[in-house]
Amino acid sequence: MDHVDVPQFLGLLAVMLGVAKLFGALAQWIGQPAVLGELVAGVVLGMSVGGLVDPKDEVLHVLAELGVVILLFEIGLETELRKLLQVGGTAAVVAIVGVALPFALGYAVCWMLDLSNLVAVVAGASLTATSVGITARVLSDLNRLQETESQIILGAAVIDDVIGLVILAVVVGLTEGNEVTALGIAKTTGIAFGFLAGTLLVGTLIVTPLVRWVSRVDLPGTPTMFAVILAFGLAWLASVAGSAMIIGAFAAGLLVRGTPHAHEIEKGVAHLGHFFVPLFFVVVGAAVDVRVLNPLDPSNGQTLLVGSLLIVAAVVGKFAAGYAPFWFTGNKKVIGVGMIPRGEVGLIFAQMGFASGVFDTGLYSAVTLMVLVTTFVAPPLLKHLFPPVEPGQIPPKPEGIEELVTEP
C-alpha cells in the first residue's frame, strides 16, 4: 500500500534540488567544484543537522541510485573506449595498489589499536573503494574528463568498483561466518570482469544499428529514451551477472558514444542528469553524521583518534597508488588525489560493518569520519592540482606527455 505523502515528497524534492543548486552555485562562486556544494547541501539537510533528508527513505534511495546510474552513463558517454583501453594497464596498476595499500594500512592501524582480526579486515576493506561518482563529477565540472590522467583515474575507479564487489562479497561472507574459498573469489572476479568485456564486445556490434533503427520513430526524444533504457537495462543485467549496476551504466555510455546520435543523446540525458545527479550527492551528504566531528564531546575523543589514523591510511594509501605506475610521466599527484574520495561506497562498507555487529558505534563513526574527510578534501585538492579549463579549450600541459604514456 501507499505510505508516501506525494505532495510532501514533491516539496522535499523542491527543497533538496533548490538547496543543492544554491550551494552548488556558492561553491563555484568561491572557486570550488559544484559537487562540493551539493554534498554540503546534503549534510545541511541530512539527519545530523537539518533532519529533512533521510538517506534510508526508500523512494529517495531509488532516486539517488537513478542519479548515480545516469551520472556513470554520462561519464561513459564522455569516455573514449580506445583511450581507456590504451591506459588500461596503468589504470589496473593504480587500482590494485590503491586497494592493497589502503587495506594494509587500515589493517595495521586497527592492529596497533589492539582491535580484533575481523574488525581490522572490515575496517581495511572500507578503505579500499573509490567513489568514482565524486571524482568523475569533479573532473567533469573542471572540463578535464578527456585528459590522460582522468582516463587513468576513471579506468582505475571502474576496476576498483569491480574489486570492491569482490571484497564486499568476501567480507559479507566473513561477517556471516561463512567459509571463503579462493575458487569463489576467482569466480566472482571472473564474472565481474567478464560481464564488462562481453557487453562491450556484443554491444559494439548491435548498439549502432539499434540506435539508427529507433531514431526513425517519429516521436520526440526517442534516441535519448533509447539510451536511458539501454543504461537501465545494462545496469540491471550487470547486477544480475554479479557485477555492479554502475558498471553496466558506464558500459552503456561507452557504447552509445560510438553512435551517430551520441551528441543528441548527450544533450537529452544531461537534463535528466541535472535532476537526478544532485539528488544522489545530497543523499550521500545526508548519510554523513557530522556530530562525530565535535571535539567538545568527550565521547568523540577515541572516535576522532581512530578516525584520524584511518584518514591518514586512506589518503596515503590512495595517493601512493597514483605513483605506482612509475613509467607514467603525467601528473601522478592528480591520479593519487583523484582516487581519494570514498563517498557512498565507503559508507556502504561502514553500514554493512555496523549492521553485522562487527563495528561498534565508535568505530562506525570513525569510518564515517574517514569517508567525510576523504570525500570533502578531494574536490578542492583536485581543482588546485588540475585547474579548470573552458569547454573546448586545449588545457596547458607539458609537451609530449600523451605520447609518453606507454604500457610497461
Q: Is 206 in the site for a copy of itself (CB under 8 A)?
A: no
| HSE-up (13 A, CA, CB side) for residue 209 | 5
Rg (CA), the chain: 21
Q: Is 268 in the site for a copy of itself (CB under 8 A)?
A: yes
Nearest to 45, CA basis, from 258, 260, 253, 281:
281
Letters for 211-250 (x = contact with a copy of itself by CB under 8 A, - = none) are: ---x--xxxxxx-xxx-xxx-xx-xxxxxx----x-----
Q: Which residue from 111, 193, 275, 323 is in contact with a copy of itself, where contact means CB under 8 A?
A: 275
SS (H, E, C) 272-306: HHHHHHHHHHHHHHHCCCHHHHCCCCHHHHHHHHH
Q: Which residue from 85, 116, 263, 271 is in contact with a copy of itself, where contact means CB under 8 A?
A: 271
Nearer of residues 55 and 317 to a copy of itself, judged by Cβ: 55
Q: Is 1 in the site for a copy of itself (CB under 8 A)?
A: yes
What's the closest the beta carbon of residue 151 comes to a copy of itself, in angstroms?
23
Whole-number Å distance between alpha carbons of 362 and 70: 35
Q: Is 34 in the site for a copy of itself (CB under 8 A)?
A: yes
Q: Is 191 in the site for a copy of itself (CB under 8 A)?
A: no
Considering only residues 92 through 111, tell me which ones interact with a copy of itself, judged by CB under 8 A.
none
The neighbour count for residue 401, using CB atoms within 10 Å, is 15
- In terms of phi and psi (left: phi > 0; alpha: psi -120 to 50; beta: otherwise), the region of 221 is left
Contact 33, 138 (CB under 8 A): yes
Window contacting a copy of itself (CB under 8 A); options: 20-28, 100-108, 114-122, 296-304: 20-28
Q: Which residue from 7, 295, 357, 400 is in contact with a copy of itself, where contact means CB under 8 A?
A: 7
Distances (CA, A) of 387 to 29, 132, 158, 160, 369: 15, 19, 24, 25, 27
Q: Which residue from 163, 272, 372, 381 is in contact with a copy of itself, where contact means CB under 8 A?
A: 272
Interacting residues with a copy of itself (CB under 8 A):
1-4, 6-11, 13-14, 17-18, 21, 24-25, 28, 34, 56, 58-59, 61-62, 65-66, 69, 214, 217-222, 224-226, 228-230, 232-233, 235-240, 245, 268-272, 274-275
